[in-house]
Amino acid sequence: MMNNEVFSAIPCHEYSENRLHEEPLVSILMLAYNHEEFISQAIESIMSQQCNFAFELLIGEDCSNDKTKDLCLSYFNRFPDVIRLCTADENVGMHRNFARIWHRGRGHFFAMCEGDDFWCDEKKLQKQVDWMQKYPDAALCGTFTRIIKQDDNQDWLESGIVCPAEMKEHYTARDLIPGYTFHFSSILLRKQGIRFPSWFWDVYCVDRPLYLLCAEQGPVGCLPEVTSVYRLHQGGVWSSQHVQNKATQGRHLFEYINEYFHYRYNSLIRRTLGEILWYYLSEAMEQKDRASAKKMFWMSLRYQFPWFSLQRIRSVAGSVARLYVPFFRRC
């Protein structure tokens, strides 16, 4: 677990004013790195929120190479009673950047919006806080998120929705493990009770494990409305990584989660990891990276084998043909 002493050791210069509300109900955490093109829309979407409570925006600016910091400072000067800017003269990395603004957040509830995403509903915070107050035992409330993807002409096109596969009144850890139920920009969580295991700071992401830590504390809910937008672009940290690196980091994450839950969800976690690796197999095939595709194939089989359906058996047979039989490779 990362204690207060370790948090405090993370390099940070904070720009803040005495005019900040003493006890904001909500702290919004924004990670920003080389987001010059997007950061203004992200901040504006938060500052346009209409709600009957005080909130603060903590921006973790991680020593960007572009004008992200300058833009953040300009917004801090415009909204000194709301914005707190945390930065340093060195890049601290995504996890420590997240840790330093999480540690400084003073709200009862925490919301998230990375610097290349934005909110599209001015009532987002109000709706989620109302829901959380209606259900005082709930740990997290998510919403739907619209995905937009940048094409070769630099135009933004609609590319789907991030939402639960099935609408339910409440969700548990068992419900959240199989899919990416909520995008990070959509959630509001109750800070109290969240305890980070040591491995949390070593895995590739913070969103998915954070949802599961919340689900340990209480029910998770969803408002079936689109309130945020996720940008899928080539400059994204995750989307730009090689498929083998994605697979390795995904395995580490789910193995940590499995151990953390004392293998209570072992079969579900292994099946989920197998499905993720199968998706990376398809990604490698699209990129014509046959060597990586073969590795994804065998890794996926390792995790999925005991739970094969007839449809998956057929899919496996087709993949074997495309990967290893010369005739099919030419087709």
Pairing state of beta strands 13-15 and 140-150?
unpaired
**112 contacts 26 by C-beta, under 8 angstroms:** no
In order of start, what are the domains of the chain with their CATH numbers?
Answer: 4-232 (3.90.550.10), 243-330 (no CATH)
Residue 219 confidence class, pLDDT cut points 50, 70, 90: very high
In DSSP notation, 111-164 reads EE--TT-EE--TTHHHHHHHHHHHSTT--EEEEEEEEEEE-TTS-EEEEEEE--
Task: Decide if pLDDT at 306 tops 80.
Answer: no
Task: Decide if pLDDT at 305 tops 80.
Answer: no
Residue the block writes with tokens 């995904």? 250
Task: Decide if pLDDT at 1 tops 70.
Answer: no
Task: Decide if pLDDT at 288 tops 80.
Answer: yes
What's the whole-number average pLDDT of the chain? 89
pLDDT for the residue 230:
97
Residue bearing the bigger pLDDT, 64 or 309? 64
Q: Give residue-wise pLDDT tens across range 110-129.
A: 999 999 999 999 999 999 99
Percent of the chain clearing pLDDT 90 (strictly above): 68
Give the containing element (helix H, strand E) for 109: strand 109-112
Task: Decide if pLDDT at 2 tops 80.
Answer: no
Task: Decide if pLDDT at 325 tops 70.
Answer: no
In DSSP notation, 176-226 reads HSSS--S-GGG-EEE-TT----GGGGTSS-SHHHHHHHHHHHS-EEEEEEE
Task: Decide if pLDDT at 315 tops 80.
Answer: no
Residue 328 confidence class, pLDDT cut points 50, 70, 90: very low
Residue bearing the bigger pLDDT, 193 or 212? 212
Query: Of the candidates 288, 184, 304, which has an alpha carbon nearest to the alpha carbon of residue 243?
Result: 288
Interior/surface letters 123-148, b for 16+ CB within 10 angstroms, e for the rest: ebbbbbbebbeeeeebbbbbbbbbeb
Q: How buried is 269 (Cβ within 10 angstroms: 0-12 exposed, 13-18 middle, 19+ buried)? A: buried
Task: Decide if pLDDT at 164 tops 80.
Answer: yes
Residue 152 confidence class, pLDDT cut points 50, 70, 90: confident
Task: Decide if pLDDT at 331 tops 50.
Answer: no
Query: Of the candidates 256, 295, 258, 303, which has an alpha carbon nearest to the alpha carbon of residue 276?
Result: 303
pLDDT for the residue 297:
83
Task: Decide if pLDDT at 330 tops 50.
Answer: no
pLDDT for the residue 72:
98
pLDDT for the residue 4:
61
Residue 60 confidence class, pLDDT cut points 50, 70, 90: very high
Distance CA 103, CA 7 (A): 7
Residue bearing the bigger pLDDT, 179 or 47? 47
Residue the block writes with tokens 């789907």? 160
Q: Give residue-wise pLDDT tens across range 82-101.
A: 999 999 999 999 999 999 99
Task: Decide if pLDDT at 221 tops 70.
Answer: yes
Q: Give residue-wise pLDDT tens across range 229-283.
A: 999 876 656 566 788 898 999 999 999 999 999 999 999 999 999 889 888 888 8
Apex 291 CA angle, 305 and 279, nearest 5: 45
Task: Decide if pLDDT at 222 tops 70.
Answer: yes
Percent of the chain clearing pLDDT 70 (strictly above): 87
